[in-house]
Structure 1
Amino acid sequence: MDTEPTAPDPVTMTTDLTVGGMTCAACVNRVEKKLGKLAGVTASVNLATGRARVEHPADIGAEELVAAVERAGYTAAVPEPPGGARPADDAGEAAGPDGGTEGGADREERHRLVVTALLSLPVLAVSMVPALQFVNWQWLCFTLTAPVVFWSAWPFHVRALRGLRHAAATMDTLVSLGVVASFAWSTYALFLGGAGEPGMEMAFSLLPGAATDAPAIYLEATVSVPLFVLAGRYLEARARRGTGEALRSLARLTAKEVAVRENGTERLVPVEELTVGQVFVVRPGERAATDGQVVKGSSAVDLSLVTGESEPVEVGPGSAVVGGAVNAGGLLLVRATAVGADTQLARIAQLVTDAQAGKAKAQRLADRVAGFFVPVVLALAVTTLGFWLGAGADAQPAVTACVAVLVVACPCALGLATPTALMAATGRGAQIGVLVKGPQSLEGLQHLDAVVLDKTGTLTSGHMSVARVTAVPDGLGEDAVLRLAGAVEQGSEHPLGRAVAAHARRELPGEDLPEVHEFRALTGRGVSGRVENRRVEVLAPGDDLSGPLAEALAAAEKAAHTPVLVCVDGVEQALIEVGDVVRPGSYRAVERLRRLGVRPVLATGDREAPAQAVADALGVTDVYARRSPEDKADLVRQLREQGYRVAVVGDGVNDAAALAGADLGIAMGSGTDVAIGAADVTLSRGSIEALADAVQLARHTLRTIRTNLVWAFGYNVVTVPLAMVGLLNPMLAAAAMSLSSLLVVGNSLRLRAWQPAPARRRIR
C-alpha cells in the first residue's frame, strides 16, 4: 500500500549564550524553563559560568533565544566566537554577561560593599552594645540605615521587582523582603511605637524571641542582611572566577605577536595574521605562537602548561611543536601547520569550556528542587508569621521569626554545588593532561571497572626503536659498534635501519656519524659499507651464534623483537634488538589501574608473540591478539554484557569503532583526530599514566560534589526550622546564608590543588 513520505528530521543546532542577572539556582531553573517553552528547544544553564548551552532547530535564530531569556527577566548575549576573542591579559578582564568586563563589575561590587560596611558597622556596634547607646542613638542609626536600604540593597529590590513582573521569585526576592520587612517594622516602632523617645535603650540578644519591656527596633538586622549578602557574593564571585583560572591560564599562553621569516627577512606581525605554511621564529624563552613543524634548529621545549608533561621534550627538524610551548634552548624556525581555533591549545580550551557547560545528574535534581524552593520559603515565612500571631505572641518576635526565615534560606548553594566543582576539576584536569567532555564523562570514569587497552601507540611507542644493544666482551665496545652501525644505516630506508641510525645519534650526542662508502643493500640479509676503512655489516643473525650473543638472540625472540647482528671486518661485535618498545610508565599505569579496581584488557591487531610479550612485561593476563576493528568493538560488547562498565583506550582510526561503542572512550592526545573525536576523555600529554590520574580525579570530584550537595540540602533542612521557632536572629541568619555558599565554593576550590596519588615502585 502507499505510504506517506517521511519528513526529514529538522536540523539541530547548538548555541551558547551568556546570561546576566542570575543569582541562584532558582534563576537557572527559570531560564531553562523559559527557553524550553520554544518548540524543539532544550537548554542547560550553568550558574557558575553564567552560560547557557541551547540546542534548537535551525529555524530558531539566536535573536529569538535571547528574547526568550529577556522575557524571563534576565539579560543575554551571544559570546564572541573563539577566533575573534582576544587572549585574556594578566588582569583577566574577560567580557562579562552584561556586556561589561568582570574587572568593572568586580570594582562596582567592591565599591558598594565598602560603602555599605562604612554605614553598617556603626549601626551594628551601637545596637548590639548598650554601653554605646547615647541619647537619640536610634535616630542616628536610622539615618545611617536608610542609605543601606535604598542604595546598598537596591540591586536586590530591582531584581525582586523584575521577577515579580514575570511571576517569578528568586533569592533576591527573599533578601529584598527581609530588608524591607525589618526596616518597615523599625520605622513603625520609631515613629509610632515609642522606640523614638530620647533615652531609649535596647539590650541585644542572640535569641530573637527574648522578651523586653522596651520597644524593639531591628536596624542591626536591616543593615546586616545587605552587608553579609554583598560580602558573601563578592567573595563567592572571586572564588568562582578562581575555579576557572586554569582556562584563563591556557588563554594567556597564546602569543600576541610573532616574528615571521620570509625571503631572508624577519618582520613582527600580530598572531591573528599568521597563516598556515608561514615560517616563524621561536627564540629561547619565547612561546611557540601556534602549532607547527620545526624546519631548522634544535632545542628542548617545555609542554607542562599545555599537556601536563613535566619533562622537556627534545625537538629538531621534522619534529612537531605545540602552540604555547616554551622554547628552553636554541633558536627554532617553525612552519605553521595550524592557526586559530584549529590549534591544539584552542581545542583544549574548547574541550574544557564544553565540559563546564554540562550538568551532572545530581545537579539536575538540585535545579529542579530550586525551582520550587523560593515559593516554599515564602509560604513558610507567611505561615510562621501567622502562627506566632495566632498563638498570642507579640508582633515583634513574630516579625523577627518571619524575617529570619526569609533571610536564612539559601538556594544559592544548591546552584553552585556542582558547577564550581566541575569548573575546578576540568581546569585541573587540563593542567595534568586529562581533558573530559563533560560531567557524564567524569561519572563514567568514577564507575569504571574494565579498560580495553590498545597496544601500538598506547602501551608502546608506536614506532620502531632500539630496545637493547648487547656487545661481545673484549670487543670494540657498545658505543664504538653503535657508531659504526649507525653510520652504515644512514644509507638505508628500511624502518630497522632508520631506528638504528636514530638511536646512534641519540646515544652519541655531540658526535657526527662518520661517512659511509661502498654502501650496499644485501637483499633479504641487511646492509654493508666501509666506514673509516673498516668493513661494517648489519645483518640478520643466523643460528650459529654463541655466548652472550646467543643469549641476546633468545631474549629478543622471546620479547618478539627483531634482532640484527653487527660485524666489523668479519668479526661479530654486537646484537641490536629493534622493536616497538613499551612506553615508559605503562607498567605503573596498569598497576595503578589494577589497584583502583579496574580490570586491564589488552586488545591489538598485532601478532600473538608481540602482544604476549607486552602483556607479560605489564602483568596483563587478558590478551586478545589479531583483533580487527570489528573484533575490538565486539569484545567491548561482550564485556558490557558480562556487567562490566568498559572504557577503551586507543589512538588510531582502527580504534574509533570500539571507542564509540564503549561506556567511555579514551583517546591518546598523540593519536588521530578520528580517535579523539570519538572519545569522551583525551589524555593530552600522550601518556597512559594519565589514565589512572583521570580515574582518581573523577572519583575525587564526584565525592566533592556529593559533599557540596549534602551540605546545601542539610543547611536548609536545619536552619529554616530553627528560624521558624524563633531560635535564629536575622543578623546571624544573614551571616549563615552567606557562609553556606562560601563553604560550597571553598570546598570546590580544593580541587585546584589536587595531586594524583604517587605511584608505587615496582618490586622485582
Structure 2
Amino acid sequence: MTCASCASSIESMLKATDGVNEANVNFAAKTVQVTYAPDVTSPAKLKDTVQEIGFELLVEDTTQDELEERQAKALADLKRKTIGAIILAAPVFVLGMFFHDTFTWGNWAMFILTIPVLFWAGQRFFVGAWAQAKHFRANMDTLVALSTGIAFIFSAFNTIYPEFFLSRGLMPHVYFEAVAVIIAFILLGKYLEESAKNRSSAAIKKLMGMQPKTVRILRGGTELEIKTEEVRIGDTVLLLPGERVPVDGEVIAGSTYVNESMLSGEPLPVQKQAGDTVYAGTINQKGSVQLTAQKTGGQTMLAHIIKLVQEAQGSKAPVQKLVDKIAGIFVPIVLGIAILTFAAWIILGGEAYLTEALLSTISVLVIACPCALGLATPTAIMVGVGRGAEQGILIKDAESLERAQHVNAVILDKTGTITLGKPTVTDVIWAENVAEKQQAEQIFYSMESQSEHPIAQAIYTYYKEQGQTTLQLNYFSSLTGQGIEADFDGTRYYAGNEKLLQEHKVILPEHLKMAAMQLQEEAKTVIYFADATQALAVFAVSDPIKPTAAEGIKAMLDAGIELYMLTGDNKQTAAAVSKQVGITNYKAELLPSDKGEFIKQLQQEGKIVAMVGDGINDAQALALADVSIAMGHGTDVAMDVAGITLMRSDLKQIANAIKLSKATVKTIRQNLFWAFFYNVICIPIAAGVLFPFTGFLLNPMIAGAAMALSSVSVVSNSLRLKAKKLD
C-alpha cells in the first residue's frame, strides 16, 4: 500500500464482500483484521477480492521469519530502484536545469534517460493506478502516474515533433527533469518511510526474539533437537544454564534460578524447583532442569503477549475513523482541483499560459499525496503500543490507549492490586467450648481446599503444611461476596465474613468478636468458621502491601487523579490498608455487583473511570469501566476483559500507562495537524494562487520533494515516542 487511500480502497472492497462483517486495514502495519462468516466466504475469496484492485493478501500460514524475509526483499528492491532512479535522474536534472538552451541533442538524451526512471523505477505507480482505475478508484499511484505520465508525454511530443509549437510561435518546452526527479524523490521518500516503519515495529521483533528457534527434548528415552514449534504438550524438555525457556511448563527434575524480568519486571532471579511453573522467553540462569511442556506455540504466555501487541498495533483509534473518511474522498477531490487548476490557467492566461497550466497541474497532483495523512495515526499507535510493551504495559487496542489520557478517577481493588495477593495465616483463635476440634479443623480445611479465593488458598496452604487431611463433604457451595458453606454428616458449616454469620443468625461469642476487632485494626483480614448455631474459630490472614504501592498511589494523586479503593473485605481492614497507602476514599464489604454500581455512579457524575483489578470477581467492574487495567499476575479472565494489562505488579505502572496515552495522543495530534496543514497550504500554492501577487510558481520537483518529506517527517515524529521517559 502506498497511501491511506489504498487502505481505504482495500477496506471498502472487503466490507462489500458477502459474508464479511468487519474489516480494518492498518496502513502503517500493512495488516488487515477481518471478521467473516466462514460458511459464506473464505480467506481465498478475500485474497481474490484484494488482488482485483492490485494488492496481495497473505492468508497462508506464513511464519514471522518468512514474512520478514519477504519484507526485506521488497525493501531491497525498493532500495535498488531508488538508487537507480537517483543515478539516472541526476544527469537529466543537470541537463534540464543548466544546459537546456546549449545542446540541441539534450532533449533526446533526457528522453532516453527518463524512460527507465519512469517505466522501471516508477513502474509500481502505473501498475497500481491501472488496477485502481479498473474499479473506478484512485489513490496516490493515480496522482503520481497522472502527473509524471502527462509531463512525459508532453515532453516526448515536443522532443519528437518540436515544429508543432514552433510553427505557432511557442517554445516546445520539455519537463523530463521534473519527471525523473519527482519519481526519484517519491521513491526515496517511500524508502525512508518504509525503513522508519520497520523501526516502529521493533518491539514486536524484540519480543519474538525471546522465543528460541530449537529445543532439546526426551522422547522414548532418546534426546532429540527439534524446532520449537514441533514441541508437543507432555514432551520432556531439557534446559541448560543460559538458555531461554522454549515453552510454558512445569519443572519435574532439578532446581534452578530463572530471570523472569520480561514478565514481572523484577531483576532478581526466581528459584524454580519440582512443581514450579516456568514461562517461554524467560532465561534459565543457574541449574539444569527438566520440565513437562504444558503450553506450546501460540498458547504460551509469551505468544499471548505478542498477539496482544500485534492486535493493538493493528487496531484503530477512534480518531482514525474520521481520517479514513477523509482519505476515501481525498484523491478524487485533488483530481478535481487539478482539473480546475488547468482550466483556470488556460481560461485566465490564454494560450501563452499552457506551460504554467501544465506545471501547476502537475505540482497539484504530486504535492497532494495522502501518505502523511494515512501514516499520522497508525505509526504513533504502533510506536506507542511497542513502547508500552517494552515497559511491561500491554495495550489491547488503540481505543484503550487513546481513552486512557482522559482518566480522572481510578478504582483499585485491594487484594492482589494494592497488596501482594499472597496472604498468609497469622493468627488462629478457637472458641472455648469447641468439641472435637480435630474434626472441625478437618472440615474447615476440606471446605477451603475447594475455594478459589486467595484467602482460602492461604488457609489451605497453612493446614497442608501441617499435614492435615481432608474429609468427604456432602455439600459445598460458594457464596459470592460472603464466603462458603458446606454440609458434613447432616451439619451445616460456614466460612467467611461477619455478614455471612449475621445472615444465617449464627451466634458470635464475645471473646471471638473482641479478638476479631483487634486483628482487623492491625490491617488483617478475618475469616470466621462456624457451624449452624455459633462461631467456632477466627482466622486472621495478612496480605502484605506492595513495596511500591504508596509511591504509585502518590504519583496518581499528584497527577490530579481521584483514587478509590473498593474491597469485599471488612471496614476495619480496609481503613487500615487505605491509611497506610494514602487513599482517603474507600468502600468495604462490597459484592462484585456493588463495584459495578459504584463505577456507574462515578460515570454519571462525568468521571472517566479506570478500574484496576486482578481476579474473577473484578471482571464485571473491569468490563464496565471506561478503561480497564489488569495486573499481569492475575487471572486469565481479568486479562481477557482488560484493555490494558500491567505485567509488573507495580502501581506506578498505572501512572506510566496514562503518561504513555497522553504522549501518544499528543503525537497523533501533531501528526494530523502537520498532515492537514501541509495539504491546506501546499495545494493552493501548487495551483498558483501566489502567482498574481508574487510571480511565484511551485516547481514540480520541489513539490515531489515536499511530498516525500511530509511522510518521512510524520513517521520520524512518531518514532520520538520510543525515547519517551515514563518513570
**Which of the five TM-score ranges fits, normalised by the shorter chain?**
0.7 to 0.9
Superimposed CA distance per residue, residues 208-266 of structure 1 (whole angstroms, 9 cap, x where no aligned partner): xxxx9965322211101110111111111111121112112212211122222468764
Does the 8 A contact of 2:525 with 2:573 survive in 1? Answer: no
Quote the offset at 1:136 in angstroms. Answer: 3.1
Does the 8 A contact of 1:193 with 1:215 survive in 2? Answer: yes
Where do 1:598-677 residues align within 5 Å? Answer: 598-677=561-640
Q: Distance in 2 between matches of 1:557 and 1:177?
A: 78
Q: Distance in 2 between matches of 1:591 and 1:363?
A: 34
Partner of residue 331, structure 2: 374
Does the 8 A contact of 1:126 with 1:133 survive in 2? Answer: no
Matched, 1:418 2:377: yes
Alignment root-mean-square deviation, CA: 3.1
Quote the offset at 1:463 in angstroms. Answer: 1.4
Q: Distance in 1 between matches of 2:122 and 2:268?
A: 53
Q: Distance in 2 between matches of 1:562 and 1:720?
A: 68
Matched, 1:61 2:24: no
Q: Distance in 2 between matches of 1:737 and 1:562?
A: 65
Does the 8 A contact of 2:525 with 2:570 survive in 1? Answer: no
**Partner amino acid for 1:295?**
I
Partner of residue 14, structure 1: none
Does the 8 A contact of 2:404 with 2:661 survive in 1? Answer: yes
Where do 1:142-153 residues align within 5 Å? Answer: 142-153=111-122
Match of 2:15 among 32, 36, 49: 36
Where do 1:171-186 residues align within 5 Å? Answer: 171-186=140-155
Match of 1:436 among 365, 379, 395: 395
**Partner amino acid for 1:427?**
G
Where do 1:671-710 residues align within 5 Å? Answer: 671-710=634-673
Q: Distance in 1 between matches of 2:701 and 2:425?
A: 73
Q: Distance in 2 between matches of 1:447 and 1:324?
A: 34
Q: SS at the partner of 1:600?
A: strand
Q: Distance in 2 between matches of 1:87 and 1:252?
A: 11
Compared with structure 1, are the counterparts of its residues 332 and 717 closer, same or farther at alpha carbon in structure 2 (3 Å cutoff)?
same
Quote the offset at 1:160 in angstroms. Answer: 1.0
**Partner amino acid for 2:80?**
H
Q: SS at the partner of 2:292?
A: strand
Does the 8 A contact of 1:384 with 1:401 survive in 2? Answer: yes
Q: SS at the partner of 2:195?
A: helix
Superposition TM-score, scaled by structure 2 size: 0.80
Superimposed CA distance per residue, residues 276-329 of structure 1 (whole angstroms, 9 cap, x where no aligned partner): 333322222110011123334444333344554444444344433220011232
Q: Distance in 2 between matches of 1:668 and 1:454?
A: 10
Does the 8 A contact of 1:73 with 1:166 survive in 2? Answer: no
Q: SS at the partner of 1:391?
A: helix
Partner of residue 417, structure 2: 458
Partner of residue 698, structure 2: 728
Superimposed CA distance per residue, residues 47-100 of structure 1 (whole angstroms, 9 cap, x where no aligned partner): 1122222223343222333333233443323242xxxx5453xxxx526xxxx8
Q: Distance in 2 between matches of 1:272 and 1:603?
A: 43
Partner of residue 288, structure 1: 245
Partner of residue 482, structure 2: none
Compared with structure 1, are the counterparts of its residues 642 and 181 closer, same or farther at alpha carbon in structure 2 (3 Å cutoff)?
same
Q: Distance in 2 between matches of 1:122 and 1:196?
A: 26
Partner of residue 27, structure 2: 47
Q: SS at the partner of 1:94?
A: helix
**Partner amino acid for 2:667?**
T
Q: Distance in 1 between matches of 2:204 and 2:265?
A: 14
Quote the offset at 1:622 in angstroms. Answer: 0.9
Partner of residue 748, structure 1: 718
Match of 2:2 among 16, 23, 30: 23
130-139 vs 322-331, which moves further:
130-139
**Partner amino acid for 2:677?**
G
Q: SS at the partner of 1:234?
A: helix
Q: Distance in 2 between matches of 1:412 and 1:61?
A: 31
Partner of residue 234, structure 1: 191
Q: Distance in 1 between matches of 2:111 and 2:226?
A: 62
187-196 vs 436-445, which moves further:
187-196
Q: SS at the partner of 1:734?
A: helix
378-387 vs 139-148, which moves further:
139-148
Partner of residue 110, structure 1: 79
Quote the offset at 1:461 in angstroms. Answer: 1.0
Compared with structure 1, are the counterparts of its residues 601 and 363 closer, same or farther at alpha carbon in structure 2 (3 Å cutoff)?
same
Q: Distance in 1 between matches of 2:524 and 2:684?
A: 73
Match of 1:94 among 49, 67, 73: 67
Does the 8 A contact of 1:308 with 1:431 survive in 2? Answer: no
Matched, 1:712 2:669: no
Where do 1:183-262 residues align within 5 Å? Answer: 183-193=152-162, 216-261=173-218
Q: SS at the partner of 1:253?
A: coil
Q: Distance in 2 between matches of 1:554 and 1:276?
A: 50
Q: Distance in 1 between matches of 2:518 and 2:87?
A: 80
Partner of residue 345, structure 2: 388
Does the 8 A contact of 1:302 with 1:325 survive in 2? Answer: yes
**Partner amino acid for 1:28?**
A
Q: Distance in 1 between matches of 2:174 and 2:35?
A: 52
Match of 1:162 among 116, 131, 149: 131
Superimposed CA distance per residue, residues 440-491 of structure 1 (whole angstroms, 9 cap, x where no aligned partner): 1112211111111111111111113599xxxxxxxxxxxxxxxxxxxxxxxx
Does the 8 A contact of 1:465 with 1:499 survive in 2? Answer: no
Superimposed CA distance per residue, residues 512-547 of structure 1 (whole angstroms, 9 cap, x where no aligned partner): xxxxxxxxxxxxxxxxxxxxxxxxxxxxxxx9xxxx
Q: Distance in 2 between matches of 1:335 and 1:109?
A: 46
Q: Distance in 2 between matches of 1:584 and 1:194?
A: 87
Does the 8 A contact of 2:86 with 2:181 survive in 1? Answer: no
Partner of residue 401, structure 1: 360
Does the 8 A contact of 2:552 with 2:652 survive in 1? Answer: yes
Where do 1:477-556 residues align within 5 Å? Answer: 495=461
**Structure 2 segments unaligned to the other structure (5+ residues):** 427-457, 467-510, 527-539, 689-695
Compared with structure 1, are the counterparts of its residues 690 and 79 closer, same or farther at alpha carbon in structure 2 (3 Å cutoff)?
farther
Does the 8 A contact of 2:18 with 2:41 survive in 1? Answer: no
**Structure 1 segments unaligned to the other structure (5+ residues):** 1-21, 198-211, 468-491, 501-542, 544-552, 564-576, 759-764
Q: Distance in 1 between matches of 2:94 and 2:274?
A: 72
Compared with structure 1, are the counterparts of its residues 149 and 493 closer, same or farther at alpha carbon in structure 2 (3 Å cutoff)?
closer
Compared with structure 1, are the counterparts of its residues 460 and 738 closer, same or farther at alpha carbon in structure 2 (3 Å cutoff)?
same
Q: Distance in 1 between matches of 2:671 and 2:423?
A: 49
Quote the offset at 1:131 in angstroms. Answer: 10
**Partner amino acid for 1:736?**
A
262-271 vs 614-623, which moves further:
262-271
Q: Distance in 1 between matches of 2:295 and 2:226?
A: 17
Q: SS at the partner of 2:630?
A: strand
Structure with higher helix content: 2
Match of 1:737 among 707, 722, 727: 707
**Partner amino acid for 2:126?**
H
Partner of residue 361, structure 1: 318
Compared with structure 1, are the counterparts of its residues 746 and 133 closer, same or farther at alpha carbon in structure 2 (3 Å cutoff)?
farther
Superimposed CA distance per residue, residues 318-341 of structure 1 (whole angstroms, 9 cap, x where no aligned partner): 433220011232323333221121
Superimposed CA distance per residue, residues 698-750 of structure 1 (whole angstroms, 9 cap, x where no aligned partner): 11111111111111111110100001015311000000001111111111112
Where do 1:324-339 residues align within 5 Å? Answer: 324-339=281-296
Partner of residue 76, structure 1: 57
Does the 8 A contact of 2:552 with 2:650 survive in 1? Answer: no
Compared with structure 1, are the counterparts of its residues 224 and 304 closer, same or farther at alpha carbon in structure 2 (3 Å cutoff)?
farther
Does the 8 A contact of 2:23 with 2:34 survive in 1? Answer: yes
Partner of residue 559, structure 2: 596
Q: Distance in 1 between matches of 2:558 and 2:162?
A: 71
Superimposed CA distance per residue, residues 622-681 of structure 1 (whole angstroms, 9 cap, x where no aligned partner): 111111112212221222222211121111111111111222221111111111111111
Superimposed CA distance per residue, residues 325-373 of structure 1 (whole angstroms, 9 cap, x where no aligned partner): 1123232333322112111011111111221222112211111111111
